[in-house]
Structure 1
Amino acid sequence: MAQNTPVQLWAATRADGLPGATRSHQSTGDWEVWKVSGKVFMLQTAMPGEPVVILKADPADALALREAHADITPGYHMNKVHWITVHPGGSVQAELVGDLVSDSYRLVVEALPQGQQPVDPETFR
């Protein structure tokens, strides 16, 4: 993978600290993958010449984020409605990246059967 950007480092730091989160390197391609209970909530890769973070997002939030930030676009190689790509640049700061990672994680945890949820998604805000 290309040199990690601050956006990738901020995202990885937050994701690595989430309950039940696991990180792996995908054997095909150059992808780092974070999962909770076997379900993906974050990916990192390098688009042509640009390291990015890919996160799950509520569709309405994803649209608002793309409109508000030039460095947030539809999910790279993912469903464009439910995933966003965060690019390196100046408009996305560490706090927002951490919040986006937490939101992605929570969305995935909410969809898990209750017995597989490492946290209560209602109280994990």
Structure 2
Amino acid sequence: MEHQAVREYLLNKPNCLLDTPFGPEVEVFKVKGKMFATLSLGQDKRHFWMNLKCDPDEALALRDIFESVIAGYHMNKKHWNTVILDGSIPQGEVERMIDNSFLLVVQSLPKRDRVSVEVHL
């Protein structure tokens, strides 16, 4: 999945806000002030890397299944994965990982905020 398509998919999430608290080179996607994804040019300077929140057991499974899914770069490695957008992961799977990250963060919100997002899902 291309960087621009991923970016658009992230921005289309309900109540999504794009922020750059770490500088213009790292885009941070938030819902109700809570981060659910980051997107930046990776260490290899060829591919974009996306950090996504993930259930700890699923995070390990995804790292075993996909070579381009690694422990969260500069993140809590138990709860975050880094997805290297090199085209090796099918678009539907990338979208599923984004959806799961978004939902994990939404589920952790206070009830009032959670409900205000869930009505748009």
TM-score by length of 1: 0.84
Q: How does 1:110-121 map to 2 (within 5 A)?
A: 110-117=107-114, 118-120=116-118
Which sits farther off after the overlay, 108-117 or 20-29?
20-29
Give 1:29 deviation, angstroms. 5.8
Partner of 1:106: 103
Find out whether 1:94 has 2:91 as its counterpart. yes
Does the CA-based 8 Å contact 1:19-1:119 persist in structure 2? yes
How far apart, CA to CA, are the structure 2 residues paired with 1:80 and 1:27? 19
Q: How does 1:19-98 map to 2 (within 5 A)?
A: 19-26=14-21, 28=23, 30-48=25-43, 49=45, 50-98=47-95
Give percent identity, aligned residues only: 32
Q: Which runs of 5+ in 2 are unaligned?
A: none
**How many residue pairs are counted as aligned between the two chains?**
118
Does the CA-based 8 Å contact 1:10-1:97 persist in structure 2? no
How far apart, CA to CA, are the structure 1 residues paired with 2:5 and 2:64? 22
How far apart, CA to CA, are the structure 2 residues paired with 1:80 and 1:29? 24
Does the CA-based 8 Å contact 1:42-1:104 persist in structure 2? yes
Give 1:24 deviation, angstroms. 1.9
User: Deviation per CA, 1:39-72, whole angstroms, max 9, x where unpaired?
Assistant: 0000011232142111000011111100000010
